[in-house]
Amino acid sequence: MEDIMDALRKIQSELNEQKITIKESGEKVTAAVTQNINGILDEKFKILDEKYENLKEKLENQEKRIYYLEKQARKNNIVIFGLEETETSYETLENIIINFVREYFSLELDHRDIQEIKRIGNKGERYRPIIATFTTLGTKIKIFKQRKEALKDTTYYITEDYPKQILEKRKELQEQAKLEREKGNIVKIKYDKLVVQVKNKTTSNNKIQLTLSPEIPIHDGTKVQANKKNKHHTSIKRTSSLTEGIVKPSMLNFLVNKNQNNMPSSQQNTNDNL
């Protein structure tokens, strides 16, 4: 009987050892399989990340090209506000612009000088603005340079034909410009940049500090520019310009500027100086 009990104990001990061995083997197999799967997944994720980065780079390059093409397409354009809608055809609208330029800018234009003219926005109580595209950049520059003086005492005003994203940026800059003016600084908005001349009352020497205005969150995530120095008593702050982003033609020009139609002429000219 004692021999039988010893044999049973021995068998039980062997079974326990086998269980432990099987368990350890199972854990090793599980760890190996898990490591193998993780390795495969890491490799696949690495490939996907590379593809994503390549697509992202291609998209950014395409956005830059689109932005450049959009900017080039609008470079000969001006937007004219305040002209009455008396035209009955495209030809009469061209004549209105030709007569307008002759009267206020003393420039003799021909129909060949105009590539395209169109009203933008929905017809309503206010006169819709006109986008005029000239065949040469020189004609646009001549008109644009004289606009402040030529239209000083009128209800008309002229702006650039900005792309949608530039209009949105300028709208953001208007808020920042208001804050800077409240501080007593001289502020101008040039295209998509805010130029601030800071009055430095504590200047102990004749150095000018070129610093950047607070960064504004925009689509392309532009960075600040390096500080520069010159000899003056005032500091100039500039925001970085927008150089990329998907841009496409829209009527946002009218939507952003339509509230200016009812402004006094002095107020309109002030805004136009920006």
The domain limits of the chain are 1-74, 75-160, 164-246
Q: Considering the chain, what percentage of its residues have pLDDT values greater than 90?
A: 31
Where is pLDDT greater, at 267 or 98?
A: 98
Sign, CA dihedral 261-129-243-134, equals: negative
User: Which whole-number Å values give the CA distances from 230 to 206, 235, 239, in the listed order?
Assistant: 8, 9, 18
Tokens for 270, please give them.
């002030």
| pLDDT band at residue 215 under the 50/70/90 scheme | very low
3-state secondary structure (DSSP) of residue 236? strand
Assigned CATH for 75-160: 3.30.70.1820
Q: With 60 as the cut, is the pLDDT of residue 122 above it? A: yes
Cβ pair 257, 274 in contact under 8 A: no
One-letter amino acid for residue 262 of the chain: N
Q: Looking at residue 92, what is its pLDDT?
A: 94
pLDDT classification of 263: cutoffs 50, 70, 90 = very low
Please, are residues 198 and 233 in contact by the beta-carbon 8 Å criterion? no
Please state, in angstroms and rounded to a whole number, the distance separating the CA atoms of residues 190 and 195.
7
61 is written with which tokens? 């390059």
What's the mean per-residue pLDDT of the chain? Answer: 75
Confidence band, pLDDT 50/70/90 cuts, at residue 242? very low
Contact by Cβ (8 Å): 162, 253: yes
pLDDT for position 82? 92
Please check the confidence at residue 218 and state whether its pLDDT lies above 70: no
Return the minimum-mean-pLDDT range out of 30-34, 114-118, 268-272: 268-272
Q: Is the pLDDT reported for residue 141 higher than 70? A: yes
> Cβ contacts of residue 215 below 8 Å, gap of 6+?
222, 223, 224, 239, 240
Helices (H), 75-163: 90-105, 137-150
pLDDT digits (tens, 9 = 90+) for 37-96: 888 888 888 999 999 999 999 999 998 898 888 888 899 999 999 999 999 999 999 999
User: In this predicted structure, what is the pLDDT of residue 196?
Assistant: 81
